[in-house]
Amino acid sequence: MTRRVRLHGDFLADFERQIAWLERRGELAWIEGLEGDVIRALDLLSAYPAAGVLQHREGAIALRRLVLSSTPYLAWYVYDDDRPAGDLWLVRLFHSRQLRPAPAPSRWLGRRVTKK
C-alpha cells in the first residue's frame, strides 16, 4: 500500500530558503539537483515509508530522516504507524551541515500521542 506524501509548510519554507541561498550564489546546477532529489524522495517515500533512519518516536508517530540521493541535503518526515493508509508528511529540509532543532514529531501531525 502506498502513502500519499504531502509537503508541510515548514518543509516548503526550508526549501524556499535553500533555493534562495543557492540562487544568490549562482548555483543553478545545485538547484536542479535539489529539485530532482525532492521529486525522487516523494516517489520513494510513497512506496517505502520506512526508507529513512528513525530519529524519534512518540507513540505511533515516527520521525525519520532521509538523506537525499545526489545533494548534501536531508529531509525529516513523519507518519503514523497506526494508520497504514495515512499521509506521510515531509516536514523539514536541512543542509547536511546545518544545525537542526530537537525533533517533535507530534507537532507536525497534530495528533495526540498514543501509548502502545
Q: Tell me the three cell numbers of residue 21.
A: 541561498
Q: Tell me the three cell numbers of residue 16.
A: 524556499
Q: Is residue 106 part of a domain?
A: no
Give the residues of the chain that fall short of pLDDT 50: 112-116
The distance of Cα 83 from the centroid of its chain, to the nearest Å, equals 18
Model confidence pTM above 0.85:
yes
Overall number of domains in the chain = 1
Q: Tell me the three cell numbers of residue 19.
A: 533555493
Q: Is residue 32 part of a domain?
A: yes
Query: What range defines the domain where residue 63 resides?
Result: 5-97
Q: What is the pLDDT of residues 55-79, one digit of tens each?
A: 999 888 999 999 999 999 999 999 9
Q: Please, are residues 106 and 112 in contact by the beta-carbon 8 Å criterion? A: yes
**Could you tell me where the DSSP H helices lie in the chain?**
9-24, 28-47, 105-109
